[in-house]
Amino acid sequence: MVKTLERLHRQAITYTFAFKRQSFIHSQLISSVSCRFTRSAFQQLNATWFGTITNPDATNSKRSIVLDKTYTQKTKLLNSAIPFESQNHQTPVAAAQYPVKSVRNPSTLQKQLGGYLKTFCRGELVKKRCTNLGIDLNIVKQGAEEFRLALIRNEIPSVPFDELLRKYVESSNLGSTLFPALYTFLQQRYPEQTASLSELIKSSDLRTPAELYPQARAMKRKIIMHIGPTNSGKTYAALERYKAVDSAIYCGPLRLLAQEVYQRMNAAGIACNLLTGEERRVSDGVDKWSCTVEMALVNREFDVAVVDEIQLIGDQQRGWAWTHALLALQAKEVHLCGEGTTLDIVRKLCKTTGDTLEINEYERLTSLTVAQKSLEGNFNQIKPGDAIIAFSRKNVFNAKQFVELNTPYKAAIIYGGLPPESRADQAKLFNDPESDRQVLVASDAIGMGLNLNIRRIVFYTMQKFNGTKIIPLTVSQTKQIAGRAGRFGTQWENGQVTCLETKDMALLHASMKMTAPRIMSVGITPTVEQVEQFSNSLPNDTYATLLVS
C-alpha cells in the first residue's frame, strides 16, 4: 500500500493533508476520494514523506486521514491499493467548504495564524466597525494590537488559542469569533472610552423581550386561547367577550377584517373606532377599537384584547407584530384565536411574562369534504357559491374573465389591492343570494376569517410567491383557506374543496391529511425606545442605516 502511494507521489500527484489538533489529523471528509489508514500505516507514510512527527493520540486503535487528490484520473488505482472501510463511511463534503491549510508541522500553522491575526487586527474592517460604534481610532489601533498579543499569549478566556488554531484549520474566516471577543476586550481595557459601546450592546439586547414592556408586566393578565380549525366559532366566542366589556381592542391580520369587525360592531349598536395603516375613524368617548395587529394600541389599558390568527406569530415577515401584541397589550384579558400549532410557544411566553393561561378548544361546526377529482381546467364546472382562490392580482382577473366567459354567472373579486370600501362591497354582493355575483374570485385574504358564504373552495393553483420565489402552499395555508368553505347557519353548511387542475390534487389531499407543524420560534422587533437609544449611541449614522445594520 505504501509503495503504491509512493509511486503515485513520484508521478507528481498532489495530495493535501488536513491535520487535526493533537493528532494532526482532520477527520472531515473533504473529497470524493476517501481512504482510511490504520495508525501504523499512517506512521509509515508520514515517516516516508514528511519525516517523523509525534505519534497520534493512542486513545483509539485506528486513526483516519483524508486525502484530497488533485488528479482524479488515479481514483481507481488509489482505491485498489487501499481498501475502504465502508461501515464507517460518511457522506463526502466538497473541499471548498473546508479550506485546508497545507502545513507540515504545528509551528508553521501557528505562524500562519499569527499572520492572519496581524492582518485582521490592523485591517480597515476592524477600524471601520469600531469607529462606527463611537470608539476613537487611536484606541482602536492600540487596543486591537493589544488584543492580538493577548490572543497569542492565550490570555483571552473566551477564545483559547488552541481552539482558535482548530477553527483556523477548518475555516479561513474567523471574524464571527474575533469581533465579539475584540469588542469585549476593548470594553474591559478602555471602559471610559468605550462607554457608547456598552450602551449600544445594552440597547440592542433582545434576549428577554417580555421585559421591554414593564406596564404590561405590572398587570395581572389572563391569556385565554381559543384553539380550533376554521369555521369552529373561536373568534365569535372571543368577540362576544369583546362586546360585554366597556373597553376593548380587536387586532386582526388584515385591513379588510378589521373593517368588518368595525362595521359589525357599529351595526349592532356598539360604538367602535377603526385604526389601520390606511384609515383612522375615531369618535370621542369611544373606547372600543378594531385595528390591524401592527397598529395595536399598547400604551393604554383595556378590559379585553382579542388577537386574531395568532399562528402568524411565526411568520418571518410579520410575526413580530403578533409577538409585540401578545407581550405588550395592557389588557386584563388577552384572547388569542387561531391554530393549536401555537400552543407550546404561547405557554413558553406566558412563563416569561408571569401571565396565567386558559385554553379553550373548538371543533368545526360544519362538514368539509375534499373532492376526489379536480375541475380538469374547465371553468364551465364552476357553480354558484364557488370561490376560486388565486395568489396574484393577474390570476384573480384572469379567473374572473374565464368564469364570466364560460358560465352564466358574474364574479365578485376580493384581493389586497382593492380599497377597503370596494372590498366590503364585493363581499356583500357575493353574500347576497339575490345578487348576480354568484361566484367569488379572491386572493388568500379570505383565509383570514372573512365572513363569506362559500359552498366550495377551488384552488386556481397550489403554489404561491413568498416574497423571493414561488413555493407550494404550506399545510397551514391550505387548511386555512380550504376551511372557509361551508359556513354555519347558511345554505352552504356542507363545504367542499378541490383544485382547478388535476396536477394539484395530490398536494391538496396530502396537506388536508397532515397536521401542521408546531411553531417553535416567533418574530421579534426592537421597541421604539431601543431604536432611539441605538441612534444616540451612533450619532453619525442615519435612521435608514440603523434599521439595516
Chain segment 396-425, per-residue pLDDT in tens: 999 999 999 999 999 999 987 788 778 888
Q: Which helix (H) or strand (E) element contains residue 250?
A: strand 248-252
Check: CB of residue 460 under 8 Å from CB of residue 400.
no
* CA-angle at 353, arms to 350 and 357, nearest 5°: 30
Task: Map grid coordinates 485506528 to a residue.
Answer: 62
Long-range CB contacts (within 8 A, 24+) of 204-211: 204/526, 204/530, 204/534, 206/524, 206/526, 208/352, 209/323, 209/327, 209/352, 209/524, 210/327, 210/349, 210/352, 210/353
What domains are there in the chain, each with its CATH number?
A: 2-97 (no CATH), 106-193 (no CATH), 209-361 (3.40.50.300), 368-513 (3.40.50.300)
Contact residues for 138 (Cβ-Cβ < 8 A; gap 6+)? none
Q: What percent of the chain has pLDDT over 70?
A: 74
Across the chain, which has 549 residues, the per-10-residue mean pLDDT values are: 45 35 33 36 37 36 34 34 35 36 62 86 87 80 91 89 84 79 86 68 74 93 95 93 97 90 95 93 96 96 97 91 96 96 95 96 92 95 95 94 94 85 87 92 80 92 89 92 85 90 96 92 78 66 63
Mean pLDDT for the chain overall = 79
List, in sequence order, every residue forming a beta bridge with 334; answer none if it has no partner: 223, 305
List, in sequence order, every residue forming a beta bridge with 16; answer none if it has no partner: 68
Quick one: which of 354, 353, 298, 305 has its CA closest to 332? 305
User: Which grid coordinates belong to 363?
Assistant: 371543533
pLDDT at residue 397 in the model: 94
pLDDT at residue 33 in the model: 32
Chain segment 5-42, per-residue pLDDT in tens: 444 444 433 333 333 333 333 333 333 333 333 344 33
pTM of the model: 0.63
Exposed (0-12), middle (13-18) or buried (19+): which is 405, by Cβ within 10 Å?
exposed
CA-CA distance, 521 to 344, in Å (whole number)? Answer: 10
Contact residues for 469 (Cβ-Cβ < 8 A; gap 6+)? none
Q: How many Cβ atoms from other residues are within 10 Å of residue 501's Cβ? A: 14
pLDDT at residue 176 in the model: 81
